[in-house]
Chain A
Amino acid sequence: MGRFHRHSDGTAHDLGHDPGPPALHSDLGDHSGYDDARERVEILERILGENDRTAEANRQDFRAAGVRVVNLMSSPGAGKTSLLRATLERAADLVRIGIVEGDIYTSIDADRLSGFGAAVSLVNTANGFGGECHLDATMVRSALGRLDLPSLDLLVIENVGNLVCPAEFSVGEDARAMVYSVTEGEEKPLKYPAMFRAVEVAVINKVDLLPYLEFDIDRFLGNLADVNPDAQVIMTSARTGAGLDEWCDWLTQRAGGSVAAG
């Protein structure tokens, strides 16, 4: 999303790339030597189909184990790990929580989450996954073998910090949530609409910093509503604890659903 064509004067329009005859597009790429097509094979295959099939396998496993799954996304530094730490401090006695921690290289975030009563399974996307900037269904599947799913009520998948790529890859989750910090400005929903549209809940974090910023919260919320009018907004500060009850309520309600359904 967000690939609306823009000119240097800032105007945008769609280029009228109607799916017309293929000949219209023959100027794209280098086709030298390939004017001798013998046969055109129609296949109509979804490009992310393989990921979606693996995501469905994950979903079946989650269902069989009676665990509900939240895919938590954000840009780097929005406060996902701090929010999860604060969440575990409050909710780990009430709900059995597991965490899949996505990180390109390090175990820093997984280490920060250890010792709070949750099972943590780390996926380093640099190890065998090409250093990807997102978690896909296969990477999450690789992490599940290290978790005892039936002993959990709730699995939180902390995605790699990135506002673009994670939104394209389903991992078999029940719900998607994002953490957004007030230091990121008002316009990001319009710039990264795929992410903001994908989520059920937007946690607006670091609200303790609002007095020191020129962040116009109403403008941000208007932009968010333009992109995703159905998103539930929860204002938090992982540092002061503001709003964490509301966030934990949402999470535990999600997990409670698993007890009822399981």
Chain B
Amino acid sequence: MHELSISRSIAATVRDNAAGRPVGRVRIELGQLRQIVPETLRHCWSLVVEGTDLEGSTLEITEVPAALKCRSCGARFTLIAAIFRCEHCGSREVTIASGEEFMITSYDIVGA
């Protein structure tokens, strides 16, 4: 359960960046190849910010589908199971086109 330490890390980054301004929504991109469970991350976020200056802020998670690109035939396709093989020509010469993202992209400053 590394989502708790990851939530702390996100909170630290946002807190530094916001420099005391009130934070609302925090947006992150999460690739599906990451071994991180969005529901758990959201739950951990609420625990981590409770009683802090970030209390009430929410984590908005945009999941990025895993996509592969075949180096043999050039096909690009979405991965639906963890089989890293070209679904068109069967080659294992594939590269990950997307799905490993794990970024804070933006947050909202809120308040009157």
Determine whether B105 belongs to the interface, using a CB cutoff of 8 Å to chain A: yes
- Establish whether residues A44 and B5, one from each chain, have CB atoms under 8 Å apart when the complex forms: no
Determine whether A218 belongs to the interface, using a CB cutoff of 8 Å to chain B: no
Residues of B within 8 A of A132 (CB): 2, 5
Closest Cβ neighbor of B14 among chain A residues? A43
Residues of A within 8 A of B17 (CB): 41, 43, 45
Determine whether A94 belongs to the interface, using a CB cutoff of 8 Å to chain B: no
Residues of B within 8 A of A57 (CB): none
- Establish whether residues A25 and B111, one from each chain, have CB atoms under 8 Å apart when the complex forms: no
Cross-interface CB contact of B104 among A39, A45, A197, cutoff 8 Å: A45
Segment touching B, from A60-68, A148-156, A225-233, A246-254: A225-233
Residues of B within 8 A of A19 (CB): 29, 62, 64
Residues of A within 8 A of B42 (CB): 28-29
- Establish whether residues B84 and A3, one from each chain, have CB atoms under 8 Å apart when the complex forms: no
- Establish whether residues B80 and A190, one from each chain, have CB atoms under 8 Å apart when the complex forms: no
A140 to B62, CA, bound (A): 31
Known: A47-B103, A165-B1, A193-B33. 11 other contacts (CB 8 A): A4-B82, A12-B81, A14-B32, A15-B63, A34-B25, A37-B24, A38-B111, A47-B6, A50-B13, A167-B35, A226-B85
Which A residues contact B (CB, under 8 angstroms)? 1-4, 12-19, 22, 25-26, 28-31, 33-34, 36-51, 130, 132-134, 136, 164-165, 167-169, 189-195, 197, 225-229
Which B residues contact A (CB, under 8 angstroms)? 1-2, 4-6, 9-10, 12-14, 17-18, 24-25, 27-29, 32-38, 42, 56-66, 78-85, 92, 102-112
27 residue pairs of the A-B complex, CB under 8 angstroms, read A1-B33, A12-B81, A14-B66, A28-B61, A29-B59, A31-B58, A36-B110, A36-B111, A37-B109, A38-B110, A39-B108, A40-B108, A41-B106, A41-B109, A42-B106, A43-B13, A43-B105, A43-B107, A45-B103, A47-B13, A48-B102, A50-B12, A51-B9, A168-B2, A169-B2, A195-B35, A197-B84
